[in-house]
Amino acid sequence: MFVFARAVTYATLFIAFDPPRRLVLRGPYRFFYGSAALAGYAVIFLVVTHAFVVAYEEPTLRATFGTDYEGYCARVRRWRPRLGIAVKN
């Protein structure tokens, strides 16, 4: 269910709201393009996504994979990749 909700959210953000190629006089971009409402939506989306990962995904992965996941967490950051570090298998 959560995977479906994420897919719908991403589809809404990246497909349904294709950026305009010219001056917009009508439609949703008239209200949201460069607005505080769009910035607020982005902040809410990021907070909800972060809360889901911390509250559900990480504990589930920790319970499923145990020490392997703990080692993975020690090597990999949550949101930003570490640049220039080779991973040994």
Which residue has tokens 């889901």?
52
pLDDT tens digit string along 49-64? 999 999 999 999 999 9
Nearest alpha-carbon partner for 78 in 55, 62, 54:
54
CA distance 63 to 52: 16
**Single pTM value for the model:** 0.54
pLDDT tens digit string along 11-50? 666 655 566 666 666 666 666 666 677 788 889 999 999 9
- Burial label for 62, CB within 10 Å (0-12, 13-18, 19+), is middle
